[in-house]
């Protein structure tokens, strides 16, 4: 029960919106560290003003970007030693309670310099909508192969092979959109992300790569938090009606599908998507139609809240699709 002052508690938010079929997260220019990279909106947890962690996060985002959030969910609390460079210089330990929040994209109004950024700009290997991400074939796969070769013994080699196979769907297992965190952590371990080099201080590239490291580097372990958030969101889409917090009150089924595709990072089978949706009774037609340029106008739908009463798991299905030939 010693007065352990050497811990600072902070709140960090992954604020998500989808526009133009691009999933975006709110990012601020990093202030402290001098490298000018991106960072997630964050701030100290203030027990005086904040009744709950959730409300603290809401207030934080309201102040920094003038946004109101439609959905807020606690993600994870990060507290590993050394995640904060200040700590390595003798500062206090930083504990960050990370949150996932959803909203419609709205202009940023706050005092800070918060901007909407393409989520996949930070995690490009997660984007499979336009085919296999190039970064997987070029820097990632060969580096992982080398890493497997460098194993000390046969057992470690087998473990590494297994891990690579599971994470990137290179073995028997298919690509699993939810394993975002496992992938990021593997890439970090293999020093395929800038943070790994930075955190090793020397900045010595253990893994010599011809191509640049994939994805934009972020402050602290913020990219790990982004990966955590993406995995959580992808996983929950299928059994909780979260998408509707990213959409306006009325929307076409196609737009709904596009948002789901944007988040899951893969294309979905259109007819099956609609059939499953109809069967789930998750949406209901408003009776109005929307004509978007060419083609037959689409019917407008709205989220049907009443469905929560009847179904235990109410989420959108993700009918997978073979990769385009």
| 224 within 8 A of 184, measured Cβ to Cβ | yes
* DSSP code string of 247-284: S-SSEEHHHHHHHHHHHHTS---HHHHHHHHHHHT-EE
CA distance 232 to 227: 9
Residue 161 CB, nearest approach to DNA (Å): 25
Work out the burial of residue 65: count CB atoms within 10 Å of its CB; fewer than 13 is exposed, 13-18 middle, 19 or more buried. buried
Tell me: does residue 270 bind DNA (CB under 7 A): yes
Residue 241 CB, nearest approach to a second copy (Å): 13
295: left (phi over 0), alpha (psi -120 to 50) or beta: left
Residue 208 or 279 with smaller CB distance to DNA: 279
Residue 1 CB, nearest approach to a second copy (Å): 6
Q: Count of residues for the chain?
A: 325
Residue 209 CB, nearest approach to a second copy (Å): 26
Tell me: does residue 295 bind DNA (CB under 7 A): yes
User: To which H or E segment does residue 160 belong?
Assistant: helix 154-168
Tell me: does residue 254 bind DNA (CB under 7 A): yes
Residue 11 or 18 with smaller CB distance to a second copy: 11
- Number of neighbours of residue 111 by Cβ within 10 angstroms: 9
Query: How distant is the alpha carbon of residue 134 from its chain centre?
Result: 19
Tell me: does residue 309 bind DNA (CB under 7 A): no
Total number of residues that touch DNA (CB under 7 A): 28
Binding interface with a second copy (CB under 8 A): 1-9, 44-48, 50-53, 74, 76-77, 79-81, 92-93, 95, 97, 162, 165-166, 171-174, 176, 178-179, 308-313
Residue 298 or 307 with smaller CB distance to DNA: 298
203: left (phi over 0), alpha (psi -120 to 50) or beta: left
CA distance 325 to 310: 40
Residue 238 or 298 with smaller CB distance to a second copy: 238
Tell me: does residue 293 bind DNA (CB under 7 A): yes
Residue 93 CB, nearest approach to DNA (Å): 44
DSSP 220: T
Tell me: does residue 272 bind DNA (CB under 7 A): yes
Tell me: does residue 252 bind DNA (CB under 7 A): yes
> What are the residues binding DNA (CB under 7 A)?
252-254, 269-272, 274-276, 278-279, 289, 291-299, 317-322
């Amino acid at each position: 029960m010693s007065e352990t002052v050497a811990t600072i508690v902070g709140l960090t938010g992954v604020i998500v919106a989808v526009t133009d079929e691009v999933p975006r997260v709110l990012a601020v220019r990093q202030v402290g560290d001098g490298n000018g990279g991106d960072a997630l909106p964050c701030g100290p947890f203030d027990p005086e003003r904040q009744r709950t962690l959730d409300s603290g996060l809401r207030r934080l985002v309201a102040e920094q970007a003038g946004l109101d959030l439609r959905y807020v969910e606690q993600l994870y609390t990060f507290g590993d030693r050394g995640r904060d460079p200040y700590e390595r210089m003798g500062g206090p330990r930083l504990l960050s309670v990370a949150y996932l929040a959803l909203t419609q994209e709205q202009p940023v109004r706050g005092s800070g310099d918060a901007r909407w950024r393409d989520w996949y700009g930070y995690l490009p290997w997660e984007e499979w909508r336009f085919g296999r991400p190039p970064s997987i074939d070029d820097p990632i796969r060969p580096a992982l192969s080398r890493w497997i070769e460098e194993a000390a013994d046969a057992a470690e080699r087998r473990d590494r092979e297994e891990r690579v196979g599971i994470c990137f769907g290179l073995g028997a297992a298919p690509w699993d959109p939810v394993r975002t965190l496992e992938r990021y952590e593997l890439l970090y371990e293999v020093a395929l992300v800038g943070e790994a080099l930075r955190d090793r201080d020397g900045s010595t590239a253990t893994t010599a790569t011809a191509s640049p490291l994939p994805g934009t580097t972020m402050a602290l372990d913020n990219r790990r938090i982004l990966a955590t958030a993406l995995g959580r969101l992808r996983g929950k889409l299928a059994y909780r009606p979260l998408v509707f917090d990213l959409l306006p009150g009325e929307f076409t089924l196609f737009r709904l599908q596009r948002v789901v595709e944007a988040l899951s990072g893969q294309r979905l089978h259109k007819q099956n998507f609609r059939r499953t949706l109809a069967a789930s009774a998750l949406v209901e037609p408003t009776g109005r139609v929307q004509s978007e340029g060419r083609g037959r106008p689409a019917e407008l739908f709205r989220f049907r809240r009443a469905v929560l009463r009847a179904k235990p798991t109410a989420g959108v299905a993700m009918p997978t699709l073979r990769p385009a030939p």
